[in-house]
Amino acid sequence: MGADVKKRGGGRKGKYAPMAQINVTPFVDVMLVLLIIFMVTAPLIATGVKVDIPPSSAKPLPQDEKPLAVSLRSDGSIWIQDEQVQPNTLVERLHAIAEVSKDTRIFVRADEKLPYGQVMKVMGMINKAGFNKVGLVTQPMKAGKGK
């Protein structure tokens, strides 16, 4: 009986054969924790001002840094990020921001019910404050609409 018994590991004394299975439980645990973190933080990333943005078939622009958002609501109010500003103080507030960096991109988010002239007036104010990188934000077109 003693001569016929072979140990695992090719006959090496006191050694065990390597295990050929991968334990994925820690990997799954980490992925679930990351999923929960992203689910909790994703709603906090969106800008807080509700604006009905018109749709467009244009492709999104690549983003290197966080742009400044100027929002125009249907009631005529103007917002910089999440803070409401009066139209007569918009240029002054943007001048203060321009002192830090004139290369900051500004995204204009305007309600589609606003007249075109009112949006252009605000864009003129932004340009007067010294900002040249101005973009208009739109919603992507739904399938079957447009060209």
pTM: 0.52
Does residue 32 register a pLDDT over 90? Answer: yes
93 within a domain of the structure (yes/no): yes
Q: Which string of b and e fits 59-80 if b means at least 16 CB within 10 Å?
A: eeeeeeeebbbbbbbeeeebbb
Enter the tokens of residue 109: 């988010």
Q: Which is more confidently placed, 98 or 137? A: 137
CATH number at 65 reads 3.30.420.270
- Residue-wise pLDDT tens digits, 35-85: 998 888 876 666 566 767 777 777 766 655 677 888 888 888 888 888 888
What's the one-letter identity of residue 136? L
The percent of residues above 90 in pLDDT, for the chain, comes to: 6
Which residues constitute the domain of residue 84? 55-140
Segment (H or E) for 137 = none
- The number of domains in the chain is 1
Does residue 114 register a pLDDT over 80? Answer: yes
Section 141-146 average pLDDT = 62
